[in-house]
Each structure stands twice: as C-alpha cells, then as structure tokens.
C-alpha cells in the first residue's frame, strides 16, 4: 500500500513538469492539458509496468510522448482543415497574468509547432526539460547520433523562426 501511495505522490509531484512538456509538444493549452490528462490516466492504469528503483519521470515522459505520437494522425488531419495560425495563438488557460509572459509563450509555442514532430520532441526534452543526450536516446529508443542531429536541425530552425518574429 505504501508503494502504491508513493507512486501516486511521485506522479503528482511530476505534474507541473509533465504539463510543461505537454505544452512544448502541443499546439495550444487545451490540447496540452488533454495530453497531460491522458498521460496521468495511462500512467495510473499501467503502474504495474513501472519498475521500482527506475526513474518515474523518464517513464512518464515516455508515456506522454507515445500518446502524443498515437494521436499524431488525427492531429495532422485536424490542423490542415483549420486555420493553423489562429489555433496556434489560442492559448486557453493563460498561466500568468503578465501580458508579456503569455505573448512569449504563444510565440514560442507557435514556433515549436512549426518544427517537424521528430525535431520538436528532442528540442523539448533537451532544451526545455533539461534531459541529457544519453537519457533522451534511451527514452526515445534512438541512437545518440540521431538525437544529436535532430537537435541541431531543430534548434537551428527555431532560431531562424524566433529571429524573424
């Protein structure tokens, strides 16, 4: 029982970081919170698959990333039908009152949203979440060289986009 409640507590304490990761993957805050919620639900359901003594954060991040990939097709279909610019700027739950903070977030989310999925996840995990190359390579099941080359392409494209805004 102790083990179970410690799982819940640890997952609860990961929530702010999971939400942050979801925002760096998603188009807007509503999508990000849908993804976060689905991740929590999946993690609770799959708790038996988590091995005590291994990192819960990497495990939960991997769940979120896989759920995000799973819905990629539906997402692409939707975003081609809708006006992407409008949606990209539609931040549903502004986390801070300060105007400049929300403008910053919208701008950065829009730029991230224009990266190819495989670059976006690497940029999010390393530059925003602070994971190391090796950790990300294990989390995503990719060779470290692939992680590193996607990161170069992603951050170079981002710099160009943020620069032109």
Partner 1 sequence: MTEDEKFFAWLDGELAPHEAAEMEAKVAADPQLQQLVEQHRALGAQLRGAFDSIEAAPIPERLQAALRPSAEVIDFAAAKRARTMPSLSQWASMAATLAIGVLVGTMVPQRGGAPVEVQGGKIYAAAALNQALDTQLASAPSGDVRIGMTFRDQAGEICRSFTQPAASGVACRDDGRWKLKGLFAAPEGQGSDYRMAAGMDPNLASLVDSTMTGEPFDAAQEKAALKRGWR
Shortest distance in whole angstroms from residue 153 CB to partner 1: 9
CA neighbours closer than 13 Å in the CB half-sphere of residue 131: 27
Residues with Cβ within 8 Å of 10's Cβ and at least 6 positions away in sequence, in order, are: 56
**Between 58 and 148, CB nearer to partner 1:** 148
Nearest to 88 by CA among 107, 72, 104, 69: 107
Give the footprint of partner 1 on this chain (CB under 8 A). Answer: 8, 11-12, 15-17, 19-20, 23-24, 30, 32-34, 36-38, 40-42, 44, 70-71, 73-75, 77-78, 81, 93, 95-96, 101-102, 104-105, 107-109, 123, 126-128, 132-133, 145, 148-149, 151-152, 155, 158-159, 162-163
Shortest distance in whole angstroms from residue 55 CB to partner 1: 18
**Between 130 and 141, CB nearer to partner 1:** 130
**Between 62 and 155, CB nearer to partner 1:** 155
**Between 38 and 142, CB nearer to partner 1:** 38
Find out whether 158 and 103 touch, Cβ atoms under 8 Å.
no
136 sits in the region (left: phi over 0; alpha: psi -120 to 50; else beta) called alpha
Tokens of 163: 């620069």
Q: Is the dihedral of CA 25, 30, 36, 39 positive or negative?
A: negative
Shortest distance in whole angstroms from residue 25 CB to partner 1: 11
Shortest distance in whole angstroms from residue 138 CB to partner 1: 14
């Amino acid at each position: 029982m102790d083990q179970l409640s410690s799982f819940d507590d640890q997952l609860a304490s990961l929530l702010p970081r999971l939400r942050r990761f979801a925002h760096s993957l998603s188009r807007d805050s509503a999508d990000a919170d849908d993804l976060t919620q689905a991740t929590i639900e999946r993690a609770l359901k799959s708790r038996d698959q988590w091995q005590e003594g291994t990192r819960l954060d990497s495990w939960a991040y991997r769940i979120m990333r896989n759920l995000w990939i799973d819905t990629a097709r539906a997402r692409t279909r939707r975003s081609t039908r809708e006006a992407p610019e409008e949606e990209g700027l539609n931040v549903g739950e502004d986390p801070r009152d300060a105007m400049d903070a929300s403008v910053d977030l919208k701008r950065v989310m829009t730029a991230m949203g224009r990266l190819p999925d495989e670059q976006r996840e690497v940029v999010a995990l390393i530059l925003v979440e602070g994971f190391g190359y090796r950790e990300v390579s294990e989390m995503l099941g990719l060779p470290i060289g692939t992680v590193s080359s996607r990161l170069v392409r992603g951050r170079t494209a981002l710099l160009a986009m943020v620069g032109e805004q």
